[in-house]
């Protein structure tokens, strides 16, 4: 199984604190050592880093831990290969373009007998069930809407599509188009919404703490979504089974 | 105007020597300081780095200069903005997926009145003429072939399509799908094929030399394609005007 990390904010925010703890699970505090990846939206653009080295050793992960990339939507993934060989094309997150927007997707879980008919414009490059599921989601979104619909409409469509895929196995995923971040849980997914008044937090996987009150403005809102809670002194919420949530500007929307 | 760098080899090769000299043009020996990008194929996968900082200052470019990423197909670009604002989504190279393969594209030049009808699955995310041209190339390739054709067939199709776009202005470009690298010149493009017996070479833009004989095997073949020659003691060939060449395994094919 793999691990997921997502961040959605109302102000471009530095993900280094969360990524630092998360990356420890890629070979040190966890055995997710078959590659990793992270994508940051900056406006409509995406910075996309993937590596088949362990996240804890990777020079590219080291760059991310040091270089303060500020982003409003981030998706990261560390991989424990269950389907597909260990190679760059199988590293999450995956990126595709639809309606003139980049879409970024990462998955945790296993899908059995999921061989959808991919008859349109999205085809996997690697050989994972995850990329296949992403291509099918993109295909079905493009069939359901002629152009980019509202976040609310997209959420309704994604709820239906996710339920269809989740019948094939464990389908925890994160998806973003830079405007919103969708998170779906089959099994393990947790989130936290950090907002004023900010407190201090201490990572579970590394001896590192941060006082968010010193790093933030009173109006900042940051949602972090992760497979297993990253800090030991904050109150993380577990997703319900088969729940799809959408985060915009650092808050979960009620739809 | 921008500058292009491409490498195509028969064995995964470290591009650091060429990239090091090329990156100097992103703010030191040239005024191409509106962002840069580089993409490396590794198998079917792609590592894609873009940054809107000057290549000469960018921490990501510094990583590339230090981290020996070996690849058989590399495309890099440093940008001097002529159309489109300086932002991440306008940084070349651009990446799209077609027929289950990633395609990487970078362009040097300006296209006038090029507003093709993009009625299929490829739409620009940014606002450059270059990304628009790439999307149109991908669309027309997907209409011309039902699945991935041979390199020879692709080259014939690309020759026709490139000529159509080049009527709108300067269209120097590099394109790769990881199997071959296509290079088209409207104005400035040079290439070299390095093969046994290898010699030493000295960069034009930086005080750095390399003895390729010590770094290579006798069977290695490496083609480097660049806007302006990178070394001062090798014999670079200029492309003819409106010439499209395709490189496979480090050699230009004769088609």
CB-CB neighbours of A146 under 10 Å: 8
The whole-number pLDDT of residue A154 equals: 98
CB contact under 8 A, B89 and A44: yes
Q: If contacts are CB pairs under 8 Å, which of residues 4-43 in chain A contact chain B? A: 42-43
Q: State whether residue B181 is helix, strand or coil.
A: strand
pLDDT at B38 (0 to 100): 94
Give the chain B residue nearest A142 (alpha carbons): B121
* DSSP notation for chain A: --EEEEEEEEEEEE-HHHHHHHHHTBTTSSB--S-EEEEEEETTEEEEEEESS-TTT-HHHHHHHHS--EEEEEEEEE---SSS-SSGGGPSPEEEEETTEEEEEEEES-BSS------SS---SS--HHHHHHHHHHHHHHHH-SS---HHHHHHHHHHHHHHHHTTB--EEEEE-SS-EEEEESS--EEEEE-SSP-EEEBSSSS-EEEHHHH--TT--EEEEESS-SBSSS-PEEPPTTEEEEEETTEEPP-
Give buried/exposed letters for B146-179 (b at 16+ CB in 10 A, else e): eeeeebeebbebbbebbeebbebebbbbbbbbbb
Residue B1's pLDDT band (boundaries 50, 70, 90)?
low
Whether residue B197 lies within 8 A of chain A, CB to CB, comes out as no
A121/B102 touch (CB, cutoff 8 Å), yes or no: no
CA distance B142 to chain A (A): 9
Domains of chain A (ranges, CATH numbers):
3-109+171-252 (3.60.20.10)
Note whether A88 contacts B43, CB cutoff 8 Å.
yes
Q: What is the pLDDT of residue B237?
A: 97
pLDDT in tens, B111-167: 999 999 998 899 999 999 999 999 999 999 999 999 999 999 999 999 999 999 999
Write out chain B residues lying below 8 Å of A97, CB-based.
96, 122-123, 125
Q: Are A36 and A60 in contact, with CB atoms under 8 Å apart?
A: no
Instruction: Classify residue A247 by burial, with Cβ atoms within 10 Å: 0-12, 13-18, 19+.
Output: buried
DSSP state of B122: -
**A45: nearest CB among B89, B97, B123:** B89
Is A237:A190 a contact under the CB 8 Å cutoff?
A: yes
Work out the burial of residue A80: count CB atoms within 10 Å of its CB; fewer than 13 is exposed, 13-18 middle, 19 or more buried: middle
| Residue A122 near chain B (CB below 8 Å) | yes
Residue A205 has a pLDDT of 83
In this complex, the residue of B45, B101, B124 whose CB is nearest that of residue A88 is B45
| Own/partner long-range contacts of B17-21 (Cβ < 8 Å, ≥24 apart) | B17/B203, B17/B208, B17/B210, B18/B224, B18/B226, B18/B230, B19/B64, B19/B65, B19/B76, B20/B65, B20/B203, B20/B206, B20/B208, B21/B203, B21/B204, B21/B205, B21/B206, B21/B208, B21/B230, B21/B231
Two tokens, residue A106: 């990462």
Q: Check CB contact under 8 Å for B66 and A87.
A: no
User: Which pLDDT tens digit goes with each residue over A99-120?
Assistant: 999 999 999 999 999 999 998 8
Q: Could you tell me what percent of chain B has a pLDDT over 70?
A: 96
Task: Give the CA dihedral A141, A146, A150, A156, nearest 10 degrees.
Answer: -40
Rounded to 5 degrees, what angle do the CA atoms A224, A227, A230 make?
A: 60
Mutation target for A interface from B125, B132, B139: give the one with most A CBs within 10 A. Answer: B125
Question: Cβ–Cβ of A100/B45 closer than 8 Å?
Answer: no
pLDDT in tens, A207-255: 888 888 888 889 999 999 999 999 988 999 999 999 999 999 999 998 7
Q: Binning pLDDT at 50, 70 and 90, where does residue B32 land?
A: low
- Judged by a CB distance cut-off of 8 A, whether residue A46 touches chain B is yes
For residue range B182-205, list pLDDT tens digits in order: 999 999 999 999 998 888 888 888
DSSP B35-96: -EEEEEEETTEEEEEEESS-TTT-HHHHHHHHS--EEEEEEEEE---SSS-SSGGGPSPEEE
User: Positive or negative, the Cα torsion across B130, B131, B133, B137?
Assistant: positive
The residue-averaged pLDDT of B165-170 equals: 97
Within 8 A of B120 by CB-CB distance, chain A residues are 121
- Within 10 A of B208 (CB to CB), how many other CB atoms are there? 14
Q: Sort out which chain A residues have CB atoms less than 8 A from B125's CB and list them.
A: 44-45, 97, 100-102
- Of A69, A79, A76, A52, the residue nearest A183 (C-alpha): A76
Looking at mean pLDDT, say which of A159-168, B22-31, B46-55, B205-214 comes out highest: A159-168
Sites in chain A below the pLDDT cut of 70: 1, 27, 31-32, 81-84
């Amino acid at each position: 199984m793999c691990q997921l990390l997502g961040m959605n904010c109302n102000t471009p925010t530095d993900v280094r604190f969360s990524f630092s703890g998360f990356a420890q699970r890629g070979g040190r505090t966890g055995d997710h050592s078959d590659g990793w990846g992270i994508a940051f939206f900056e406006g409509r653009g995406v910075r996309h880093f993937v590596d088949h080295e362990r996240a804890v050793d990777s020079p590219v992960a080291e760059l991310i831990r040091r270089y303060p990339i500020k982003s409003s939507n981030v998706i990261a993934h560390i991989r424990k290969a269950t389907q597909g060989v260990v190679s760059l094309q199988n590293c999450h997150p995956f990126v595709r373009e639809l309606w003139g927007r980049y879409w970024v997707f990462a998955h945790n879980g296993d899908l059995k007998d999921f061989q959808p008919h991919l008859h349109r414009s999205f085809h996997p490059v690697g050989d994972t069930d995850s990329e296949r599921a992403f291509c099918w989601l993109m295909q079905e979104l493009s069939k359901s809407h002629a152009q980019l619909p509202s976040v609310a409409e997209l959420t309704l469509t994604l709820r239906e599509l996710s339920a269809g895929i989740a019948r094939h196995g464990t389908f925890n995923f994160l998806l973003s188009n830079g405007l919103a971040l969708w998170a779906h849980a089959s099994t393990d997914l947790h989130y936290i919404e950090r907002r004023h008044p900010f407190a201090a937090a201490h990572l579970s996987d590394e001896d590192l703490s941060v006082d968010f009150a010193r790093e933030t403005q009173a109006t900042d809102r940051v949602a972090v979504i992760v497979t297993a809670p990253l800090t030991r002194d904050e109150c993380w919420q577990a997703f319900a089974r088969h729940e799809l949530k959408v985060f915009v500007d650092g808050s979960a929307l009620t739809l």
